[in-house]
Amino acid sequence: MESKSAKQADNITAWLMSAPAVILLTIFLIVPFLMAFGLSFTNLKLNSPLPTQIVGFDNYLRIFSDETINFPRALLNNFLFALVVVPVQTSLALGMAILVNRKLPFINVFRTIYFVPVATVMVVVAVIWSLIYNSPDGLMNAFVSTVTFGAIKEVAWLDNPSTAFASIMLLSIWQGAGYQMLIFLAGLQGIPLELYEAADMDGATPWQQFVKVTLPQLRNTTIFVVITTTILSFQLFDQNWVMTRGGPQDSTTTMVVKMVEQGTGSLGWIGRASAISVVFFLIVFSISLIQRKLLPEERAVN
C-alpha cells in the first residue's frame, strides 16, 4: 500500500514539474498547429470583406497546381538543399571534430573559431555574405579572379538563377558545420581508448581504426546529426529571405518562403499559407519518425 502511494506521489511530482513545459508547448505549438490545420480548409484572407468559407482541400490542390505560387519548386529546392548540404556539412563537421579532438596547444582556440559562425545570428551572417557575394566588387569575385588568373572576373552570384542557390548552400555549410562538430566531438570523446589501443596492437592503420572503430562507435551520433541537419534544411528561410527573397525566378525559394509570401504582405492568403504549413509539418514529422526508427538503442536507454 505504501509502495502504491509512493508511486502516485512520484507521478504527481513528475506532472507538476513537467506542467510548465507542457503548457508552453500546448500554447505555442499544439494550439497554433491545430488552428493552422483548421484554417487550411478555409478561404480566409487578410483584409477581405468576404466571409470566411470552408473550401475543403482546395488550398492543398491550389498550392501544388497554381503556377503563380510555384510550391513544387520550393519543395524541390528544400529536397535539393538537404541532398547537397547534409552529406557535405556532416562530413566537414566530422573532419573538424577529429582535428580538434587532438591534444594540441591552443586547441580550445580552434574549437571556438569553428563554433563562432554558429553563435552568430543568421541574419547578420546573411548580410555579411551578401557583401562577400556582391558583384563586381565583392570578396568572392576577387578570390575567384585570383585563383583563375583573371579568367573569371565577375559573377553575379545572387542575381543569377544558376548560382544563387549554390551560393546560399555554401553559406549554410560554413555557418552550420560548427554545431555538428560539437556533437561529433562529444561522441568522439565518449569512445573508449581501449578500443584504439587494441586496434593499434593488432597493427591497424589510422584509416583502418577510423573505419573499424570510430565510425561504428559514432553510428547513433551520425544518425542524429544527419536527421537534425535534414530537419533544419527544411526550415531554410533566413538566409534566403535576407539575400534573395526567394529569387531570382524562384531559384532559391523554399517552403517557408512560400508560406511567408502567401500569408503576409499584399497577398494575405491565410488559408493557403496554413496548407503549406501543414505540408511542412508532415514532412518534418515523417523525418522525426525515421529518426526514432533508426535510433532504437538511444530510445531504449531513455
Calculate mean pLDDT across residues 44-69. Answer: 89
* Number of Cβ within a 10 Å radius of residue 188: 17
* pLDDT the model gives residue 208: 92
With a pLDDT cut of 90, the percent of the chain lying above it is 56
Nearest residue to 175 (alpha-carbon basis) of 246, 104, 242? 242
Annotate 255-300 with three-state secondary structure.
HHHHHHHHHCCCCCEHHHHHHHHHHHHHHHHHHHHHHHHHCHHHHH
Q: Using one digit for the tens of pLDDT, what is the confidence trace for 187-224?
A: 999 999 899 889 888 888 989 999 999 999 999 899 99
Q: Model-level pTM?
A: 0.87
- pLDDT for the residue 295: 67
Average pLDDT over residues 278-293: 87
Residue-range domain boundaries for the chain: 70-301
- Distance from C-alpha of 30 to C-alpha of 22, rounded to nearest angstrom: 10
Lowest mean pLDDT among 39-48, 89-98, 162-171: 39-48
42: helix, strand or coil: strand
Does CATH number 1.10.10.10 belong to domain 70-301? no
